[in-house]
Amino acid sequence: MGLYDEKYGTSWTSLNRDEATERAYALGVAESLGEYDREEFEAVHEEMDTAYTKSIVELAFREGKNEGREAAPANADEEQVWDELVEGETVSVDEGDLPTGGRDGLPEAVDKFEALEKPDPDEIDATDRPDFLDK
């Protein structure tokens, strides 16, 4: 039993796009480590119903394969590479921690641009009748 079979197994009945993408990436990593399971990849690929989702699965597979090759030198421990790439720590970002300025946020010129802000419903200056039309 290979690393992929231990983690995911092959007895699934249906997959959504995210599950298929995760499995395809793991299959790519496994293939880069010498564990070929083309039947499983074909089954995951065929589970997707649109060309778009199929291309995402293909891309995830290729990405896993490429990252697996880069992370696994000739004498690397396969389980260590698998753990690093597939079993790795899931990163989640809290909405409050999203960058709002600096290099990772909006450029300063756009950040303070008033046209991007929603109008204040209490301010009706823009819809008022201009003063020069009053007698």
| Structural domain total, the chain | 2
Specify the pTM: 0.62
- For residues 110 and 81, membership in a common domain is answered with no
pLDDT per residue as tens digits for the range 3-21: 888 888 888 889 998 899 9
* Residue 92 forms part of a structural domain: no
Contact 67, 76 (CB under 8 A): no
Q: How confident is the model at residue 93 (pLDDT cuts 50, 70, 90)?
A: very low
Find the domain containing 124 and state its range. Answer: 105-133
Is residue 10 in a domain? yes
Kindly state whether residues 66 and 15 are assigned to the same domain: yes
80 and 109 together in one domain: no
pLDDT score, position 107: 56
| Gap between the Cα atoms of 66 and 68, Å rounded | 5
Please report the pLDDT score of residue 43 as a whole number: 92
Residues 115 and 77 in one domain: no
Q: Where are the alpha helices (DSSP H) in the chain?
A: 3-7, 17-32, 38-47, 51-71, 78-85, 108-111
- Domain presence at residue 124: yes
- Considering only 7-21, 41-55, 104-118, which range has the smallest mean pLDDT? 104-118
Confidence at residue 11, expressed as pLDDT on a 0 to 100 scale: 86
Say yes or no to pLDDT of 64 above 70. Answer: yes
Is there a single domain that holds both residue 26 and residue 74? yes
Residue that is written with structure tokens 């496994």 in the block:
30
Is residue 113, in this structure, part of any structural domain at all?
Answer: yes
Q: What is the mean pLDDT of residues 100-120?
A: 56
Model confidence at 100, in pLDDT bands (50, 70, 90)? low
| 48 and 111 both lie in a single domain | no
The pLDDT of residue 99 is above 50:
yes
pLDDT of residue 110: 54
Residue 86 is predicted with a pLDDT of 81
